[in-house]
Structure 1
Amino acid sequence: MDTAASRTPDERTDEPVYRDATEADVPALVALVESAYRGDSSRAGWTTEADILQGQRTDPEGVRAVITAPGSRLLVAEEGGTIVACCQLEHRPGEQGREVAYFGMFAVRPGRQGGGLGRQVIAEAERLAAAAWGAREMHMTVITVREELIAWYERRGYRRTGSTTPFPYGDERFGLPQRPDLEFELLVKELPAA
């Protein structure tokens, strides 16, 4: 008999429970983000950056700053009391009084990638941004060489803007680039009124 209780955390199919992160979550969140993007463990999922960036993706100070900053929240998704995904939401004033939310620090446990959890988390983030802040647009930046990831976001309704910013070469807080052509592109999605 196959029950949810007999499955490993990476095999659970429960609907996630969402909540805002607390400072007590910082160690688990740093481990989650690192596991989704860096090192050999990240290769179990499809979002790995291990071939383009080495070193850290985040650190406790960076996660704590997102949790405690005004106009910011770090949303976590839990299954069975275990954090399986997270994302940053930041309220930003837009042009012409149009409210904007920034979406970042998105991570899904590698063993849970590819099964729909990421789609659920991003949909919840969009709903929260519209409901809490009246956001009419969601913005994010993605490294331009991550074509597969950009295509995933495009399937979720995000559009490429062509607006790019350079990668912070020389700042090890963002990782150690393995190639010289890294830059970020702004992706935008219109959100329905809450």
Structure 2
Amino acid sequence: METARSRIAEPTFRSATAADVPALVELVESAYRGDSSRAGWTTEADLLEGQRTDADGVMAVVTDENSRLLVADLEGETVACCHVEHRGDHAYFGMFAVRPTAQGGGLGKVVMAEAERLARAEWDAREMHMTVIRQRDELIAWYERRGYRRTGRMSPFPYGDERFGIPQRDDLEFELLIKDLGRA
């Protein structure tokens, strides 16, 4: 079977619907948790066990009027997604997942560029904000290569709330990264 990594076609983008929720939960979980996530490089399996998201959390994003859950499909298969939320003069980027077998081939860059385009075009957002677990050095470096900058502004990990996973260490926290999007 051909992998997404070897495909040349550009993905098609669409907004998620309620019908997409189960597949998107599976996609996000596969990219970050458990042994399946180790097929890609974005795994958090050494930092967190348990779930990354759930159907209620994904449905809340799908139905939020200030958000878009962007889905990337290749040849009829959902291979990536991200959440883009309008927050006044900036947008927030999160729930970014690329199927582990499709990672490393440039798909993530394409999805991120589409999210940034959407934030500028639909909301005239000047910046894109995201939070990343500060211990994820390789992932933060990937975002920095795409124009995001570290701010040094930290926020606590939600210890005790298993909806976000079961921490495997006691020093987790999030760092805010920001990218200037310019004017639309």
1:113 aligns with 2:103: yes
Tell me how far 1:77 sits from its aligned partner.
0.4
Counterpart of 1:25 in structure 2 is 20
- CA–CA distance in structure 2, aligned partners of residues 8 and 187 of structure 1: 31
- CA–CA distance in structure 2, aligned partners of residues 138 and 85 of structure 1: 19
User: Gaps (5+ residues) in structure 2?
Assistant: none
- CA–CA distance in structure 1, aligned partners of residues 92 and 181 of structure 2: 12
| Percent identity for Structure 1 against Structure 2 | 72
- For residues 21-170 of structure 1, the aligned pairs below 5 Å read 21-93=16-88, 99-170=89-160
Which one is further off, 103-112 or 10-19? 10-19
Tell me how far 1:14 sits from its aligned partner.
1.2
**Does the residue aligned with 1:186 lie in a helix, a strand or coil?**
strand
- CA–CA distance in structure 2, aligned partners of residues 126 and 104 of structure 1: 12
1:182 aligns with 2:172: yes
Task: Tell me how many residue pairs correspond in the alignment.
Answer: 184
Equivalent residues of 2:3, 2:102 under 8 A apart: no
- What is the RMSD computed on CA atoms of the aligned residues? 1.0
Encode CA deviations 1:63-92: one digit per residue, 9 max, x unaligned. 000000120010000001111000000000
**Does the residue aligned with 1:187 lie in a helix, a strand or coil?**
strand
Counterpart of 1:96 in structure 2 is none
The residue type paired with residue 170 of structure 2 is P
Tell me how far 1:11 sits from its aligned partner.
3.8
TM-score (norm 1): 0.93
TM-score (norm 2): 0.98
The residue type paired with residue 17 of structure 2 is T
Encode CA deviations 1:92-149: one digit per residue, 9 max, x unaligned. 02xxxxx100000000000111110000000010000000000000000000000000
Tell me how far 1:13 sits from its aligned partner.
2.5
- CA–CA distance in structure 2, aligned partners of residues 82 and 10 of structure 1: 13
- Asked which structure has the greater CA Rg, the reply is 1
Runs (4 or more) in structure 1 with deviation over 3 Å come to: 8-11
Equivalent residues of 1:57, 1:174 under 8 A apart: yes
The residue type paired with residue 108 of structure 1 is V
Change over 3 Å in CA distance of 1:118–1:9 after alignment to 2: closer
User: Gaps (5+ residues) in structure 1?
Assistant: 1-5, 94-98
